[in-house]
Amino acid sequence: LSHRILFESCPLCASKSIALLKTADCTRHPLYKPSMPPAINWMRCTPCGHVFTDGYFTLEAQAEIFSHTNESQKLGADIERQRQVAARMIEKVLPYVREGTWMDVGFGNGSLLFTAQEYGFTSVGTDLRAENVEMLNGLNIEAYCADLSQVSLKTKCNVISLADVLEHMPYPAQGLQACARLLDDNGVLLISMPNADSMLWRVLDVNNANPYWGELEHYHNFGRKRLYALLMQHGFEPVQYGVSERYRACMEVIVKKKV
């Protein structure tokens, strides 16, 4: 039984010049099951330098992984502390956008949506975990259990947050194309993910303590440089860099549509 559909070329630039970078153990990951391969193969694209897994999960393998939800991904998890973290994310956005519709992609525990609502935004969410979507609908918040490319809304979004989301998508460019369609021309994206260009990432590597090589749910290890190039290629322009408090070694970037 094959768990992954292999990338035949770089998922960002489509070059076929890709080579194995390293193999990492994933058996200590909380979502790991003994029926899965015990290691993740990480590839590197020669021309663009992007680092990605050798393939993405089949629908069956994905269903197996999504049959379990981490405590931190449950709706309302750690709500009091998460509200503080979410508030600091929202305050980074306020200089650019003060009101309107805020869509959070992969809303997880919901803290960003709940807090955006407190700040006066209309919250909309998408998530791949049906249980979370039903619970959010039950709280009168518009939510969809769908891939971003399938989502269509009555009005354009003023903010779309992709908090630790793009690195989970087999083809991140497709996610960005959906955002370009759903975002108002004066809106912003808030994007967070680990930054493989950071010194902290290198320190974690040297100490053999980098959790991201064994992260079952990630297909990509972006650095700031490769992320910015991808954004520029898809009609976006990063306007503010920051570090993220959500996960280790993460960056948090505010992005506008290119005029």
Residues that bind Zn ion in the complex, under the rule CB under 5 A: 10, 12-13, 15, 45, 48, 50
Q: Is the CB of 45 or the CB of 165 nearer to Zn ion?
A: 45
Q: At its nearest, how many Å lie between Zn ion and the CB of residue 247?
A: 25
Q: At its nearest, how many Å lie between Zn ion and the CB of residue 199?
A: 24
Q: At its nearest, how many Å lie between Zn ion and the CB of residue 229?
A: 10
CA atoms within 13 A on the CB side of 259: 4
Distances (CA, A) of 31 to 131, 166, 167: 17, 19, 17
Q: At its nearest, how many Å lie between Zn ion and the CB of residue 167?
A: 15
Tell me the residue ranges of DSSP E strands in the chain. Answer: 4-6, 18-25, 39-45, 51-53, 55-57, 101-105, 122-126, 142-144, 157-163, 183-194, 220-221, 236-243, 250-257
Find all residues with CB under 8 Å of 159, minimum gap 6, and list them: 93, 97, 100, 101, 102, 103, 116, 121, 187, 188, 189, 190
Q: Is the CB of 14 or the CB of 63 nearer to Zn ion?
A: 14
The CA-based diameter of the chain, rounded to the nearest angstrom, is 50
Q: Is the CB of 49 or the CB of 100 nearer to Zn ion?
A: 49
Q: Is 250 helix (H, G, I), strand (E, B) or coil?
A: strand
Q: Is the dihedral of CA 175, 250, 200, 39 positive or negative?
A: negative
Q: Is the CB of 17 or the CB of 27 nearer to Zn ion?
A: 17
Q: Is the CB of 13 or the CB of 90 nearer to Zn ion?
A: 13
Q: At its nearest, how many Å lie between Zn ion and the CB of residue 208?
A: 27
Q: Is the CB of 57 or the CB of 222 nearer to Zn ion?
A: 222
Q: Is the CB of 18 or the CB of 105 nearer to Zn ion?
A: 18
Contact 11, 52 (CB under 8 A): yes
Q: At its nearest, how many Å lie between Zn ion and the CB of residue 67?
A: 33
E strand or H helix at 62: helix 59-66
Q: At its nearest, how many Å lie between Zn ion and the CB of residue 47?
A: 6
